């Protein structure tokens, strides 16, 4: 035993440098990646603003904020799903079902709140179906949601008969038109939900269960955690958020179609991963997810203003995902791949 | 799953196997069809069914390799589109088949190698890596074609796709050859065994001296190559291709493999299961077309049958496996 007056001692009596513990926490949580992504996006913003005068205009950011809010809601749900060690491929189809439900409700001249409630209920029902199979029957999430994705998109098509709906009441379109201090209410709603999600994740027992199940479901089961109920909640919440995204999408486009949520699934997974969350689960951060989804939309919008052809934009945003994850891996050091 | 259960599953005949259940499901479908649509069993329709299975079966065998290795590839549809467009474009530039076909297969294999490199060298999780490359390949392809259709295909490609031998075409023959070759590689060669071992548990494979590189590169390159083979028949049968071709095809392929009882966690799956899965999916589609059912009901039926397959394949696990062996990804 040597005397270690300045450095702290761990429980084995070894002295550790003061910063080591903090560094280990940083590495474990992978929290470097959202920072790096945010920094790169800031550089990109600087470049885009320098090349295009429209980039910093208020209108550009207003137009940008609305699709960001819709994708962001789905990404928040996906964050919980991925944190719990699962994945949800059916989100796009659920958004489609919610949109079609809203369309049918509007066709029957229901009041605005009833339309919204119907869409939310439709989304939640789909999520609960996934949750039942994954949480209670303990089936693999990727397989269940692969099947339910095909099933739900068929149901959405059957409900709408392949038609698109129009003629929504003004009360519903309010979500698209209204602004507060120049900020679209869609985006404010998204921020409010994100705050709720952060509280759920950090300060509730349920959030603790989600992370515990994601890091080791066997240990969680042995610890007496309500695994089935928690997972059921995770997928139902995802369904609810998809329903919300569906309503906002319908309000923005003033029409509803069964294939409306196409592309949202890949977008949401990519946003969560871009924020640095491990795809195997066990960790999540609302801020990182916000950074991930914002990075996608800001870069896409900037490329558009820089006159990059649309298909190249698509390729570049995909390449950005690969580069960010590879860079995150290198930063974190090549740790053991725990599949 | 534990290596013990998967090994014993292959060594002794087991009548609780997933394939047996799948075959009985097929039998039920067959009986229902014999009552509802006897035309289904006409030789013309059966030949059509075989032709519709060819491409899906070829690509699914590649996907089985990837899933056996514990991976997943959602870029297969994009690779299929890239290769089929490249084949048709090069062929239309008066290049002979003897140049175009090897080039097409090579491009498929190298796109698979890109996936493998991202996964093995940069340690990007398979679903993320292939999600990224799917967007990358598809975006670059659409930029190349500018969304235009290639509506005429070279005559030699047309000849490949035209039916002969009593309504069958070359894709059926190719699918049979691919199945035979895959059976030999998976069960008769060292690399095939490595694929099972690595997929079962990468950690114990590493401890017995198996490098993760070999199975990962083999799995993704073989999928790229087989996707390219599938692309030849895809373009030949369709007679026209465009940049958005085969959008979402990878999900059908994964559904077929999973329906065949392959475990997405790796190490478990069989060629027979894949064949039965493809047969079930394709005959369901064909039957619904014969019965004049609207297109969205086909989606509903396909989704439902995939879910039934998933529940069937997990049922023994629910009853028998002690909690300790439950996999950590619920």
Does residue B139 belong to any structural domain of this protein? yes
Cα A18 to Cα A7, A331, A332, B181, distances in angstroms: 6, 21, 20, 59
Chain-chain contact of A140 with B142 (C-beta, under 8 angstroms): no
Q: With cut-offs at 50, 70 and 90, classify the pLDDT of residue B2.
A: very low
Quickly count: other Cβ atoms within 10 Å of residue A234's Cβ: 30
pLDDT of amino acid A339: 38
| A333: contact with B, CB 8 A cutoff | no
Chain-chain contact of A270 with B310 (C-beta, under 8 angstroms): no
- Output DSSP code: residue B124: -
- Please report, for the domain that includes residue B284, its CATH number: 1.10.3470
pLDDT of amino acid B18: 77
Which region among A148-157, B20-29, B51-60, B278-287 has the lowest average model confidence (pLDDT)? B20-29
Average pLDDT over residues B93-112: 87
**Do residues B271 and B183 lie in contact, with contact meaning Cβ atoms separated by under 8 Å?**
yes
Q: With cut-offs at 50, 70 and 90, classify the pLDDT of residue B79.
A: very high
Structure tokens at A145: 């949601």
Q: With cut-offs at 50, 70 and 90, classify the pLDDT of residue A117.
A: very high
pLDDT of amino acid A236: 94
Number of compact structural domains in chain B: 1
Chain-chain contact of B131 with A314 (C-beta, under 8 angstroms): no
Average pLDDT over residues A122-128: 94
**Do residues B237 and B288 lie in contact, with contact meaning Cβ atoms separated by under 8 Å?**
no
Instruction: Please state, in angstroms and rounded to a whole number, the distance separating the CA atoms of residues A147 and A135.
Output: 16
Does residue B4 belong to any structural domain of this protein? no
The H-assigned helical ranges of chain B are 3-11, 18-36, 43-68, 76-92, 97-120, 126-145, 155-161, 170-188, 190-200, 202-207, 213-238, 249-259, 271-290, 295-320
Q: In angstroms, how far is the first alpha carbon of chain A from the final one?
A: 40
| A58: contact with B, CB 8 A cutoff | no
Angle, helices A227-253 vs A205-215, to 10°: value is 100
Instruction: Please state, in angstroms and rounded to a whole number, the distance separating the CA atoms of residues A279 and A59.
Output: 35
Does residue B12 belong to any structural domain of this protein? no
Structure tokens at B301: 């039926």
Does residue B128 belong to any structural domain of this protein? yes
How buried is A45 (Cβ within 10 angstroms: 0-12 exposed, 13-18 middle, 19+ buried)? middle
Instruction: Please state, in angstroms and rounded to a whole number, the distance separating the CA atoms of residues B196 and A239.
Output: 36
Q: With cut-offs at 50, 70 and 90, classify the pLDDT of residue B317.
A: low
Instruction: Please state, in angstroms and rounded to a whole number, the distance separating the CA atoms of residues B320 and B324.
Output: 11
- Preferred mutation among B1, B299, B325 to probe A, highest tally of A CBs within 10 A: B299
Instruction: Please state, in angstroms and rounded to a whole number, the distance separating the CA atoms of residues B121 and B71.
Output: 15
Quickly count: other Cβ atoms within 10 Å of residue B23's Cβ: 16
> With pLDDT > 70 as the criterion, what percentage of chain A qualifies?
88
Instruction: Please state, in angstroms and rounded to a whole number, the distance separating the CA atoms of residues A149 and A265.
Output: 10
Return the domain boundaries, chain A.
34-44+57-328
Instruction: Please state, in angstroms and rounded to a whole number, the distance separating the CA atoms of residues A164 and A166.
Output: 7
pLDDT of amino acid A30: 53
Q: With cut-offs at 50, 70 and 90, classify the pLDDT of residue B329.
A: very low
pLDDT of amino acid B328: 43
The three-state (H, E, C) secondary structure of A163-226, written as one string: CCECCCCHHHHHHHHCEECCEEHHHHHHHHHHHHHHHHHHHCHHHHHHHHHHHCHHHHHHCCCC
On the question of pLDDT at B114 being above 90, the answer is yes
Q: What is the pTM of this model?
A: 0.81
Of B128, B140, B323, which has the smallest distance from its Cβ to A279's Cβ? Answer: B128
pLDDT of amino acid B49: 87
Read off the pLDDT of residues A8-48 as tens digits, 9 standing for 90 and up: 555 555 555 555 555 555 445 456 777 778 888 888 888 88
Read off the pLDDT of residues A274-305 as tens digits, 9 standing for 90 and up: 887 877 878 888 888 999 899 888 888 888 88
Interface of A with B in 281-320 (CB under 8 A): 281, 309, 311-319
Read off the pLDDT of residues A194-230 as tens digits, 9 standing for 90 and up: 999 999 988 888 988 998 888 888 888 888 888 889 9
Q: With cut-offs at 50, 70 and 90, classify the pLDDT of residue A336.
A: very low
Read off the pLDDT of residues A244-260 as tens digits, 9 standing for 90 and up: 999 999 988 888 888 88
Partners of residue B140 in chain A, C-beta under 8 Å: 311-312, 315
Instruction: Please state, in angstroms and rounded to a whole number, the distance separating the CA atoms of residues B230 and A129.
Output: 35
pLDDT of amino acid B322: 43
Query: Which among B220, B234, B248 has a CA at the least distance from the CA of B109?
Result: B220
Instruction: Please state, in angstroms and rounded to a whole number, the distance separating the CA atoms of residues B164 and B167.
Output: 5
Of B128, B134, B323, which has the smallest distance from its Cβ to A325's Cβ? Answer: B128
Chain-chain contact of A217 with B134 (C-beta, under 8 angstroms): no
Structural domain boundaries enclosing B146: 18-30+39-315
| A322: contact with B, CB 8 A cutoff | yes
Partners of residue B258 in chain A, C-beta under 8 Å: 143, 146
CATH no. for A34-44+57-328: 1.10.3470
- Preferred mutation among B73, B132, B198, B273 to probe A, highest tally of A CBs within 10 A: B132
Chain-chain contact of A321 with B139 (C-beta, under 8 angstroms): no
Read off the pLDDT of residues B213-266 as tens digits, 9 standing for 90 and up: 888 999 999 999 999 999 999 988 887 788 778 777 888 898 899 888 887 777
> With pLDDT > 90 as the criterion, what percentage of chain A qualifies?
22
Chain-chain contact of B330 with A138 (C-beta, under 8 angstroms): yes
């Amino acid at each position: 035993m040597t005397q270690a007056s300045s450095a702290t001692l761990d429980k084995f009596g070894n002295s550790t440098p003061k910063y080591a513990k903090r560094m280990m926490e940083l590495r474990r949580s992978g929290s470097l990646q959202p920072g790096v992504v945010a920094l790169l996006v800031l550089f990109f913003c600087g470049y885009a603003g320098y090349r295009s005068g429209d980039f910093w205009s208020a209108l550009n950011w207003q137009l940008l904020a609305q699709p960001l809010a819709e994708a962001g809601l789905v990404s928040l749900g996906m964050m919980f799903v991925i944190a719990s060690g699962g994945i949800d491929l059916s989100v796009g189809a659920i958004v489609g079902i919610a949109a079609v439900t809203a369309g049918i409700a509007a066709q029957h001249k229901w009041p605005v709140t009833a339309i919204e409630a119907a869409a939310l209920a439709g989304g939640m029902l789909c999520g609960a179906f996934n949750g039942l199979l994954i949480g209670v029957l303990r089936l693999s999430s990727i397989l269940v949601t692969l099947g339910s994705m095909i099933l739900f998109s068929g149901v959405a098509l059957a409900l709408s008969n392949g038609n698109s709906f129009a003629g929504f009441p003004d009360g519903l379109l309010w979500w698209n038109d209204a602004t507060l201090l120049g900020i679209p209410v869609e985006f404010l709603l998204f921020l409010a939900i994100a705050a709720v999600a952060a509280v759920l994740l950090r300060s509730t027992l349920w959030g603790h269960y989600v992370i515990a199940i994601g890091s080791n479901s066997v240990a969680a089961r042995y610890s007496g955690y309500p695994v089935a109920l928690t997972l059921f909640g995770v997928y139902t919440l995802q369904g609810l958020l998809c329903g919300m995204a569906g309503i906002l999408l319908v309000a923005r486009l003033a029409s509803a179609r069964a294939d409306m949520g196409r592309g949202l699934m890949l977008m949401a997974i990519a946003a969560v991963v871009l924020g640095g969350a491990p795809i195997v689960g066990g960790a999540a951060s609302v801020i990182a997810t916000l950074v991930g989804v914002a990075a996608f939309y800001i870069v896409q919008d900037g490329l558009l203003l820089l006159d990059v052809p649309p298909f190249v934009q698509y390729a570049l945003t995909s390449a950005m995902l690969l580069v960010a994850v590879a860079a995150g891996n290198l930063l974190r050091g090549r740790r053991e791949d725990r599949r | 799953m534990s290596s013990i259960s998967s090994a014993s599953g292959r060594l002794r005949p087991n009548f609780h196997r997933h394939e047996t259940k799948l075959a009985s499901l097929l039998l039920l479908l067959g009986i229902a069809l014999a009552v509802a649509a006897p035309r289904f069993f006409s030789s013309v329709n059966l030949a059509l069914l075989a032709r519709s299975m060819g491409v899906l079966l070829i690509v699914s065998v590649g996907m089985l390799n990837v899933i056996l290795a514990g991976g997943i590839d959602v870029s297969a549809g994009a690779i299929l589109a890239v290769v089929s467009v490249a084949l048709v474009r090069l062929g239309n530039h008066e290049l002979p088949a003897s140049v175009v076909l090897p080039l097409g297969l090579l491009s498929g294999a190298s796109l698979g190698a890109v996936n493998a490199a991202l996964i093995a060298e940069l340690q990007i999780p398979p679903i993320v890596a292939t999600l990224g490359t799917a967007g990358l390949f598809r975006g670059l392809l659409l930029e190349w074609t500018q969304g235009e259709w290639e509506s005429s295909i070279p005559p030699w490609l047309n000849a490949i796709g035209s039916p002969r031998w009593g309504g069958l075409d070359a894709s059926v023959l190719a699918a049979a050859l691919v199945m035979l070759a895959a059976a030999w590689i998976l069960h008769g060669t060292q690399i095939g065994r490595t694929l099972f071992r690595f997929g079962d548990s990468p950690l114990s494979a590493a401890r017995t001296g198996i490098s993760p590189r070999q199975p990962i590169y083999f799995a993704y390159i073989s999928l790229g190559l087989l996707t390219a083979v599938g692309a030849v028949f895809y373009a030949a049968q369709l007679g026209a291709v465009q940049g958005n071709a085969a959008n979402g095809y990878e999900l059908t392929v994964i559904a077929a493999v999973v329906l065949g009882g392959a475990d997405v966690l790796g190490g478990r799956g069989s060629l027979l299961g894949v064949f039965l899965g493809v047969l079930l999916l394709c005959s369901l589609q064909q039957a619904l077309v014969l019965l004049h059912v609207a297109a969205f009901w086909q989606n509903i039926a396909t989704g439902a049958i995939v879910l039934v397959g998933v529940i069937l394949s997990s049922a023994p696990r629910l009853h028998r496996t002690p909690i300790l062996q439950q996999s950590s990804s619920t």
